[in-house]
Structure 1
Amino acid sequence: MAQEGIGTGLLVVELASVLAGPSVGQFFAELGATVIKVENLKTKGDVTRRWKLPSEAAFQDVSAYFASANWGKKSIAVDLSLPEGKEIAYALLDKADVALTSFKPGDAEKLRMDFATLSARNHRLLYGAITGYGSQVSRAGYDAVLQAEAGFMYLNGEPGGPPVKMPVALIDLLAAHQLKEGLLAALWNREKTNKGQYVEVSLVRAAIASLANQATNYLVAGEEPQRMGSEHPNIAPYGTVFTTADQKEVVLAVGDDRQFTNLCKVLGKPEIALDPQFATNKARVQNRGALNTLLRNQIALQNRNLFLTALQEQQVPAGAVHTIPEALAMPQAQEQLVQDAATGLRGLRQVAFKDLEQEQLNLLPPPGLGQHTQQILQEWAGLSAAKVQKLTQEGVVL
């Protein structure tokens, strides 16, 4: 018996590429939806298929980057500039519950893949659009640029050092989460109205919405946030990294005075917590430099594992600074990992919430370009094998 998830029965047609839109597609695939990735035959599919590390094989069209957001999908490669290609896409979109797009402004209208066109054919269609700066702005959006423009790069880095981009496409991922939420809300609204909906998320709005306390430090307190490395502007010691006697790094996340008192006890220096310079969070923030010097000297005498164990026993938030292999080896990470038994390819799940009533679904590995074209065209578009062969020969599909 085939596995079923809470999304089983939904058809998602993905016209998006790179990371934000495809992440949403994988999210729905993990919930059990059928996700058909429609790729541009002219450009050889999703560009991330070619974003490869030096160690990756040149002939493979599933790169490590592509594998980060395309598990559980079926790929069809179509030339949407041709009338026959458009008709294939329409045949799928007419049956779809959700369309995912990341067109450059104006391209959806040129291709006749915009919401107005598609909803006139399928009034129940939910149209999820990722844009850079909104559908009325012609400028395309790129994660690194948005990290700079939204203030993330300015804040990231050491004091006195240059601004630093986050090592993942953070704004893309934030926008993807916003679009997931918007589409789930739209699905619920469709249950009540039987009508589809246009849901747009721009990278810039997702970025600004995620500035959180850094924004309100300025909006409420009038204080312009500055680059502080891993320090926290409102709390100390929080986010501060220290090196132990065995030359390993730990981070502290002390959020209240009780936790700070317990930290000082573990260090064998309870008197530090009684010093007026450090007795309250306000005082610690004001005397951050002196505090960090004291803690750095004391933590430099500790063995990392023993120190962390003692802190956990005293309910002091702290952790080791892990490499990516170390992070993925954590017991809690195992449920996020997925592996294809046939090829051994490994990847990450998008869904991080736990459903106690349902096991995680097995996922298809990230598809090769056009891997499922014939199957999709026959099963979903209702074309005969002979017609599919003819379209392939004419270069309409791959």
Structure 2
Amino acid sequence: MYKNSLSNLKVIDLSTVLAGPSVGTFFAELGADVTKIEHPIHQDVTRSWKLTSEKQDSSISAYFSSINYKKKYLFLDFSKEKDRQELFEMVEEADVLLMNFKTSSQEKLKITDEALLKINPAIIIGKISGYGEKSSRVAYDLILQADTGFMSMNGTPESGPVKMPVALIDVMAAHQLKEGILLALLNQSQQDQKTGQVINVSLYDAAISALTNQASNYLMQAFIPKPQGSLHPNIAPYGEIFQTKDNQRIIFAIGSNLHFKKLVHYIGLSHLAEDERFSHVQNRIKNRTELERLIQSQVIEKNSDDILKDMEKRSVPCAMIKNLEQVFHSESAQKMIREEAIENKITKRVSQIAFKITEN
């Protein structure tokens, strides 16, 4: 029901890499008219971020495809008056403009916020930066993962700090910018005379905002988490990996005493629910190594399919650890795939939209 929700919206996407372009794709999926503008020579760098299996001479990479969808493509050099004027003509008719230029680059190219708002006082300018508008520091997702504590928590005691396999800081910054732009559009819908806004999102602020429970664990208890694999600092068993009889790996997310009682009853260890070492969440955390050993001793006697079905019946959170081939065999994941030809190359990506709207 949402596909053409924003069919009257015109978006100019000047951004590169991941965060900004994914916002452009989000609006394109909602039906907006999105034009991505790149430098004729120095195009979006992700066009060159190819797997070794991809053709070197192709102008499209899988990475680029992941966050560029349903867009028109235009190549302009804003250092040239003619090209800059072409942009300004587009700005006159646009509703939203996305960019991740440094402030100094905007000034050098004569496309400052002030200049854009003078041309179109109602335009919404959405901006992504690494460390805020006033910082000139170069920032990639990896740098932010290191700088905001994520890498220090991720990994195992043996591995030490490890980056997340998805550019999650970029993804979170993109969500923050989407929310800011949608709020601005909502405000404009209530105005007789639309006023423009400049919305700034830094990767740094988005990352700090996403620390959530880990931030409060530190702020309230001075708890500094160390790499502990998939384990949760506040809950157990949660993240321990168990081997099944059919050689699959499963995990449980036991978030309550009720979940724990159901689990241990199912695997034939009902007495553990009354055992002082495991009867409460904090005690389970203190004794999680022994608890893991006891649960594993029973899980190894059961096949993964049986465990998953029985846990679902009992409303106990459980899953098998899947690789992406297994994930995309799922009908649910298949429904999220979006396909289109870009420059005569068939490209695929997953949707930027995870919500579903039901109308009465």
Equivalent residue in structure 2 for 1:77, among 54, 75, 78: 75
**Whole-Å separation in 1 of the counterparts to 2:292 and 2:164:** 25
- Residue number in structure 1 paired with 2:309: 309
- Residue number in structure 2 paired with 1:186: 184
Q: CA RMSD in A?
A: 1.6
Does residue 354 of the first structure (1) align with residue 353 of the second (2)?
no
Structure 2 unaligned spans of 5+: none
What is the CA distance between 1:170 and its match in structure 2? 0.8
* Residues 31 and 182 of structure 1: CA distance in aligned 2, closer, same or farther (over 3 Å): same
- Residue number in structure 1 paired with 2:273: 273
What is the CA distance between 1:343 and its match in structure 2? 5.8
Q: Counterpart of 2:352 in structure 1: which amino acid?
A: Q
- Residue number in structure 2 paired with 1:86: 84
Mapping 1:370-389, distance limit 5 Å: none
Alignment check: 8 A CA contact 1:105 1:131 kept: no
Give secondary structure in 2 for the equivalent of 1:6. coil
Give secondary structure in 2 for the equivalent of 1:340. strand
**Whole-Å separation in 1 of the counterparts to 2:26 and 2:186:** 17
**Count of aligned pairs:** 355
Alignment check: 8 A CA contact 2:15 2:99 kept: yes
Once structures 1 and 2 are overlaid, which stretch shifts more, 26-35 or 108-117?
108-117
- Residue number in structure 2 paired with 1:8: 7
TM-score by length of 2: 0.95
- Residue number in structure 1 paired with 2:40: 41
TM-score by length of 1: 0.86
**Whole-Å separation in 1 of the counterparts to 2:111 and 2:142:** 27
Q: Counterpart of 2:155 in structure 1: which amino acid?
A: G
**Whole-Å separation in 2 of the counterparts to 1:31 and 1:96:** 16
**Whole-Å separation in 1 of the counterparts to 2:123 and 2:261:** 57
- CA displacement 1:255-284 (0-9 Å, x = unmatched): 101111111121122112221111111211
Give secondary structure in 2 for the equivalent of 1:153. helix
Give secondary structure in 2 for the equivalent of 1:38. strand
What is the CA distance between 1:161 and its match in structure 2? 2.7
**Whole-Å separation in 1 of the counterparts to 2:227 and 2:92:** 50
Once structures 1 and 2 are overlaid, which stretch shifts more, 155-164 or 230-239?
155-164
- Residue number in structure 1 paired with 2:242: 242
What is the CA distance between 1:339 and its match in structure 2? 2.3
Alignment check: 8 A CA contact 2:69 2:340 kept: no
What is the CA distance between 1:137 and its match in structure 2? 0.8
**Whole-Å separation in 2 of the counterparts to 1:265 and 1:308:** 15
Once structures 1 and 2 are overlaid, which stretch shifts more, 177-186 or 187-196?
187-196
- Residue number in structure 1 paired with 2:52: 54
Give secondary structure in 1 for the equivalent of 2:161. coil
Give secondary structure in 2 for the equivalent of 1:62. coil
- Residue number in structure 1 paired with 2:25: 26
Alignment check: 8 A CA contact 1:105 1:139 kept: no
Give secondary structure in 1 for the equivalent of 2:240. strand
Alignment check: 8 A CA contact 1:261 1:273 kept: yes
- Residue number in structure 2 paired with 1:394: none
Higher relative contact order (CA 8 A, sep 6+): 1
Once structures 1 and 2 are overlaid, which stretch shifts more, 340-349 or 124-133?
340-349
Q: Counterpart of 1:16 in structure 2: which amino acid?
A: S
Alignment check: 8 A CA contact 1:131 1:140 kept: no
Equivalent residue in structure 1 for 2:175, among 174, 177, 182: 177
Give secondary structure in 1 for the equivalent of 2:53. coil
- CA displacement 1:218-238 (0-9 Å, x = unmatched): 101222222211000011111
Give secondary structure in 2 for the equivalent of 1:135. coil
Once structures 1 and 2 are overlaid, which stretch shifts more, 287-296 or 77-86?
287-296
- Residue number in structure 1 paired with 2:136: 138
Give secondary structure in 2 for the equivalent of 1:260. helix
- Residue number in structure 2 paired with 1:161: 159
- Residue number in structure 1 paired with 2:325: 325
What is the CA distance between 1:246 and its match in structure 2? 1.7
What is the CA distance between 1:299 and its match in structure 2? 1.5
Give secondary structure in 1 for the equivalent of 2:97. strand
What is the CA distance between 1:173 and its match in structure 2? 0.5
Give secondary structure in 1 for the equivalent of 2:94. coil
Structure 1 unaligned spans of 5+: 359-398
- CA displacement 1:23-53 (0-9 Å, x = unmatched): 000000000000000111131x211111111
- CA displacement 1:275-323 (0-9 Å, x = unmatched): 1111111211121121111112222222111111111111110001010
What is the CA distance between 1:357 and its match in structure 2? 4.5
Alignment check: 8 A CA contact 2:76 2:83 kept: yes
What is the CA distance between 1:100 and its match in structure 2? 0.2
* Residues 4 and 166 of structure 1: CA distance in aligned 2, closer, same or farther (over 3 Å): closer
